[in-house]
Structure 1
């Protein structure tokens, strides 16, 4: 949504300057008039160059901070408008700060909290809006905010575990790759030059190593081109629905990591659904919201299909039978439906898989380190054999 600067005067003729987020200059003028200000000049803010750090992005951590602060405001009985003003003043994210002040202005103009938040769907997901709306209507906003805090904290921890599981193998690979590059371009050429001066018959492993280092020296740019093309392919694929689907499918099919990704999805699905049902959202609407926040196109497609099954009268267990969920999840949900304690069973599933993701991540990292070292060790052993064999033969002849 665009940002505007404005100059206005109040009823006493005092000039007031400010910034506001709105769809158009006409909306800015209308909203200023509704709060008793006479607009004199309204200008759309222009971007001053590209800044990677100035992008309009609000992270989950920012949303969690906002929710904690807003819960404190609501729980202490401070009026919402005043509370939002204080929260906005403390917010470090400059874009989120402007959004909070805009939400405050919208509430002053008569919108409800959920209506004001709904203008920013990229910041406040559907499950968040649904929970807040239910809290407003039921008079239990404080309790809903407390549930949202717990939910967001768990999701933040889950994302951190998942990122660690995904990035650690890359870190180890790059570290060992850096060592390998140092040996290939700095050490090996000098050692192999010494080997060629020994006038010994060059064995197959040594010839292969010499050919490899020679190719690496002359065609070093080919792997870089391959990496760049791979990154570009992934970035382009992420912009298209079908591309995102196949990328998400690859994530689920990856050895070891795919299992961790699926467990994280199960935890997110269960926690989200429990929160929505506890907030009073009906089941079909809850599945609609889940499809937009689950974060995996393959699972999203399955959830949308399950939603259609629910509309046709299927139970939740029957509806989600086509999803790649474990028998444990299906049986727990079936028990919840039969006993009328679905929210409780979903919370148990979420807690179990949140802990399981942490365990699986630590286990994967523990297994990965020796595996990478073994692979690197085998490569190093091959290099030593190729280099030391001709040197050993030369020394043997001298004796």
Structure 2
């Protein structure tokens, strides 16, 4: 059934906008008139003419293929609240769509509503858009449909998404300032070497006197950059392009993730962040009734680290043969010791999901603390390095001036 976007005026003169499903434009107008709405504009939503049985993420317009995590979080929170208030799913989705602005999220949820009205399950409708809804989301909704706990599960999903976003924002914020300082320092050093230093040192060269070693080195470096800067930039671009291509391969991602885990300071943060994502996902899935094997598969895919994904695959293979989680986790030798202890306690007590959520919360707090400590350490180090390099340049320029002053004196 086609979906139409409309703008209308109600009996009190207030502007309304939203979507409506109808067999035709005329039928849509009749439905709106029955709601005492006077239509201003009515148009079929982009791509809405496709059958719900055949429409998929591939038929989605380019601008609609991605929905931001913030939009998904807001939609999940609103939908959970509406369902808890007692609205049926189709009415709750309709209310959610009406308050959305035109764009990616509205397009996706409009087509999900269309699929549900044609008889599909909510989880099946979500699974048609894997670029929007992660496997965790779909599996938990499917489990909720089987148990009749959709409002509670959506509320837990909203909390899960919020925690994941908070952890991501913390990591991004920690990397932003050092990255800016590094790029800013490179730009400043390049300008000094290419434009400022040559003008200043030309005076010393014209005097045809022996110059101090630091000044000679500075002049040589400046001349090299001025003569070879196209090759330098071309080489850097080639290296960046090659690394980006390498990191798109599985072997490249494995090398990068293994290197990240063994780096000082950064390694502990990466290990705890990946473990926290895995633990929260696994715990949330288990608490909402997802089977152990499916939960392990989902938890491995969201860890953000290929080394952890491989470890979770081995753990899943062991679990599929009737084994527990503790021994293969210990053999993987990548999980923090507290993880092994809590997983063992959870398996023995039957509270694995609950303990994993607690573990995730503890590790997330530890990651935030480590990031703040690392930031407070990296910032002065970056300032000292940049200041030291600029200071060496200034010293190399001042040494000949001091020598000439002593000769004149």
Give the TM-score category using the shorter length.
Answer: 0.7 to 0.9
Please tell me the root mean square deviation across aligned C-alpha atoms, in Å: 2.9
Q: Distance in 1 between matches of 2:362 and 2:265?
A: 19
**TM-score between the two structures when normalised by the length of structure 1:** 0.86
Q: Distance in 2 between matches of 1:93 and 1:252?
A: 43
Q: Which residue of 2 aligns with 1:9?
A: 24
Q: Deviation at 1:8?
A: 6.0
Q: Deviation at 1:274?
A: 0.8
Q: Which residue of 2 aligns with 1:244?
A: 253
Q: Distance in 2 between matches of 1:185 and 1:331?
A: 58
| Runs (5+) with no aligned partner, structure 1 | 32-43, 48-53
> Which range moved further: 76-85 or 296-305?
76-85
Give the alignment partner of residue 74 of structure 1, picking from 83, 86, 98.
83
Q: Which residue of 2 aligns with 1:378?
A: 388
Is 1:392 the equivalent of 2:392? no
Q: Which residue of 2 aligns with 1:108?
A: 117
Q: Residues 131 and 279 of structure 1 are in contact (CA less than 8 Å); yes or no, is this contact kept in structure 2?
A: yes
**Distance change (3 Å), C-alpha of 1:160 and 1:10:** closer
**Distance change (3 Å), C-alpha of 1:142 and 1:310:** same
| Equivalences for residues 51-200 of structure 1 within 5 A | 54=63, 56-92=65-101, 94-200=103-209
Q: Which residue of 1 aligns with 2:327?
A: 318
**Distance change (3 Å), C-alpha of 1:299 and 1:231:** same
Q: Which residue of 1 aligns with 2:219?
A: 210
For 2:179, what is the secondary structure of its paired residue? helix
Q: Distance in 2 between matches of 1:7 and 1:274?
A: 42
Is 1:331 the equivalent of 2:338? no
Q: Residue deviations 1:75-106, cap 9 Å, x none?
A: 11122212212322333471221110010001
Q: Which residue of 1 aligns with 2:288?
A: 279
Q: Which residue of 1 aligns with 2:238?
A: 229
Q: Residue deviations 1:42-81, cap 9 Å, x none?
A: xx8987xxxxxx3621121121111011112111112221
Is 1:356 the equivalent of 2:366? yes
For 1:122, what is the secondary structure of its paired residue? coil
Q: Residues 80 and 154 of structure 2 are in contact (CA less than 8 Å); yes or no, is this contact kept in structure 1?
A: yes
**Distance change (3 Å), C-alpha of 1:92 and 1:363:** farther
> Which range moved further: 104-113 or 72-81?
72-81
Is 1:261 the equivalent of 2:270? yes
**TM-score between the two structures when normalised by the length of structure 2:** 0.84
Q: Distance in 2 between matches of 1:103 and 1:349?
A: 35
> Which range moved further: 359-368 or 338-347?
338-347
Q: Residues 166 and 257 of structure 1 are in contact (CA less than 8 Å); yes or no, is this contact kept in structure 2?
A: no
Equivalences, count: 377
Q: Deviation at 1:310?
A: 1.1
Q: Distance in 2 between matches of 1:18 and 1:12?
A: 12
Q: Residue deviations 1:301-350, cap 9 Å, x none?
A: 11111110112222111122215111111112112222222122212211
**Distance change (3 Å), C-alpha of 1:257 and 1:380:** same
| Runs (5+) with no aligned partner, structure 2 | 6-20, 31-41
